[in-house]
């Protein structure tokens, strides 16, 4: 798409359930299928584009000075060439109500969150139910260099170089049944580590959801890092969702459970203020929030407001999923 160079990272995915999942079952199919077959899958298209774009491009090295563990990754597809929001802003201006409702609260308070060891429960309508150690989930991606960097424009409004892997890969590995129509995500519930959960500003734990086609769109990623390093706690360590065509609240942080469900999940903000926040939350300059216009935005660190783009500028990748839907009704 114009203005957005196809850059790809690779990242990876991987899920491994200790006893009964074999390496071959969890490894991305591209290693097993010919390129042609591989291209027939949605994820394949993205990965192949990525692979093409990254020829001759070695793993990018991150700034050593940043906090967190350094990650290795490749450039991913769909990255933007827009200027990155400074690391400091990305990590000190946050929304993470588990650590307070102020924008600077998460950076100040999230130190109590213990992110290692971390496990993720896979549940619901899928064949691979179980509880997995995050390290096991991610290791194959790391070994196969399938962790990507995607510099995305965030709807609220930052440009963040995420490091992660396509949610589609994880979904595939979980082997959802035909009944799985949505994916539901849940944040950790632990009021000791997350003191904001003692305050009933939201119903805890935080929950989000995506329709299956959204979850398998190559733009939906599970991020484990930013700026080349593991995620700071305030940004949703150790793993969070990134859906750059949607408003920020869809990007659920510190995920401990991924469930495949038949019914549309009631996401936290929709539950809290149903007339203001819906399930889809696609960036849409034509549908205002009841209390403010959503036609323009001010990028963090910039002075002037700029027009907000439909689907945050990612229409080429996502608009077809909503063809025929009344986006005023399904906001």
Ligand X SMILES: Nc1nc2c(c(=O)[nH]1)N[C@H]1C(S)=C(S)[C@@H](COP(=O)(O)O)O[C@H]1N2
Judged by the rule CB under 6 A, the positions of this chain that interact with ligand X are 94-98, 156, 187, 206, 235-236, 248-249, 251-254
| Shortest distance in whole angstroms from residue 134 CB to ligand X | 16
Phi-psi label, residue 258: left if phi above 0, alpha if psi -120 to 50, beta otherwise: beta
Select 173 or 308, whichever has its Cβ closest to ligand X.
308
| Shortest distance in whole angstroms from residue 95 CB to Mo ion | 5
| Shortest distance in whole angstroms from residue 23 CB to ligand X | 32
Q: What is the torsional sign of CA 170, 175, 181, 185?
A: negative
How does DSSP classify residue 22? -
When binding is defined by CB under 5 A, the residue of 248, 278, 285, 301 that contacts Mo ion is 248
When binding is defined by CB under 5 A, the residue of 249, 277, 279, 322 that contacts Mo ion is 249
- CA 218 – CA 212 distance, rounded (Å): 12
The one segment of 161-169, 180-188, 218-226, 248-256 that binds Mo ion by CB under 5 A: 248-256
- The interface mask with Mo ion, positions 79-98, x = CB under 5 A, is ----------------x---
Residue 153, helix vs strand vs coil: strand
The angle formed by the CA atoms of residues 296, 299 and 305, to the nearest 5 degrees, is 40
| Shortest distance in whole angstroms from residue 36 CB to ligand X | 39
| Shortest distance in whole angstroms from residue 113 CB to ligand X | 11
* Angstrom distances, CA of residue 104 to CA of 61, 123, 237, 248: 29, 34, 16, 16
How does DSSP classify residue 66? S
Q: Does 278 bind Mo ion (CB under 5 A)?
A: no
Binding site for Mo ion (CB under 5 A): 95, 248-249
């Amino acid at each position: 798409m114009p203005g957005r160079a196809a850059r790809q990272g690779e990242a990876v995915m991987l899920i491994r359930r200790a006893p009964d999942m074999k390496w071959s079952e969890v490894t991305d199919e591209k290693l097993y299928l010919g390129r042609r077959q591989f291209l027939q899958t949605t994820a394949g298209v993205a990965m192949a584009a990525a692979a093409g774009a990254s020829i001759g491009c070695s793993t990018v090295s991150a700034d050593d000075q940043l906090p967190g563990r350094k990650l290795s990754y490749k450039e991913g597809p769909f990255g933007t060439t827009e200027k990155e929001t400074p690391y400091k802003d990305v990590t000190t201006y946050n929304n993470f109500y588990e650590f307070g409702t102020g924008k600077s609260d998460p950076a100040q308070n999230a130190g109590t969150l213990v992110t290692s060891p971390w496990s993720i429960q896979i549940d619901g309508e899928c064949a691979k139910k179980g509880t997995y150690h995050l390290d096991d989930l991610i290791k194959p991606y790391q070994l196969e260099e399938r962790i990507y960097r995607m510099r995305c424009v965030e709807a609220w409004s930052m440009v963040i170089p995420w490091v992660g892997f396509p949610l589609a890969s994880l979904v595939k590995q979980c082997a959802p049944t035909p009944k799985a129509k949505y994916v539901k995500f849940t944040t950790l519930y632990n009021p000791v580590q997350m003191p904001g959960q003692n305050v009933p500003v939201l119903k805890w734990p935080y929950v989000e959801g995506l329709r299956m086609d959204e979850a398998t769109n190559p733009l939906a990623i599970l991020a484990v890092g930013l700026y080349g390093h593991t995620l700071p706690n305030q940004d949703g360590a150790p793993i969070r969702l990134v859906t750059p065509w949607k408003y920020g609240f869809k990007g659920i942080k510190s995920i401990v459970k991924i469930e495949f469900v038949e019914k549309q999940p009631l996401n936290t903000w929709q539950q809290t203020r149903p007339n203001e926040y819906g399930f889809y939350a696609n960036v849409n300059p034509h549908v205002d929030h009841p209390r403010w216009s959503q036609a323009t935005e001010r990028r963090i660190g910039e002075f002037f407001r700029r027009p907000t783009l439909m689907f945050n500028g990612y229409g080429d990748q996502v608009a077809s999923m909503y063809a025929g839907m009344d986006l005023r009704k399904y906001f």
